[in-house]
Structure 1
Amino acid sequence: MKDQTKLIAALLVGAAAGAAISLLITSDKGTELRGEVSDYLVDLYEKSRDKAQRAAEDARRYSNNVVEQARSQYDNIAGNVSDYKDQVRSVINDYTDQGHEAIAAAKAKVKATASELNGSIQNS
Structure 2
Amino acid sequence: MKDQGKLIAALLIGAAAGAALGLLLAPERGEDTRNDISDYLNDAVSKAKEKAQTATDSIKEYGTNLADKVKSKYSDAANDLYNFRDGISDDVKSKSSDVANDAENHLENAKSKAKGVSNDLNASIQQA
Q: Give the TM-score normalised by the residue count of structure 1.
A: 0.76
State the identity %.
22
Counterparts of 2:71 and 2:106, CA distance in 1: 52
User: What is the root-mean-square deviation in Å for CA atoms of aligned residues?
Assistant: 1.7
Structure 1 residue 96 displacement after superposition: 0.3
Equivalent residue for 2:104? 104
Equivalent residue for 2:89? 89
Equivalent residue for 1:25? 22
1:45-95 per-residue CA deviation (whole Å, 9 max, x = no partner) reads 000000000000011111111111111222222222222211111111000
Counterparts of 1:25 and 1:49, CA distance in 2: 30
Structure 2 segments unaligned to the other structure (5+ residues)? 1-15
Structure 1 segments unaligned to the other structure (5+ residues)? 1-19
Higher relative contact order (CA 8 A, sep 6+): 1
Q: Give the TM-score normalised by the residue count of structure 2.
A: 0.74
Moved over 3 A (4+): 20-24
Worse-superposed segment, 34-43 or 45-54: 34-43
Structure 2 residue identity aligned to 1:37: I
Counterparts of 2:20 and 2:90, CA distance in 1: 84
- The secondary structure found in structure 1 opposite 2:101 is helix
- The secondary structure found in structure 1 opposite 2:58 is helix
- Compare CA radii of gyration and give the structure with the larger one: 2
1:55 is aligned to 2:55: yes
| Equivalences, count | 105
Worse-superposed segment, 86-95 or 29-38: 29-38
Equivalent residue for 2:7? none
1:70 is aligned to 2:67: no
Structure 1 residue identity aligned to 2:22: I
Equivalent residue for 1:115? 115
Structure 2 residue identity aligned to 1:84: F
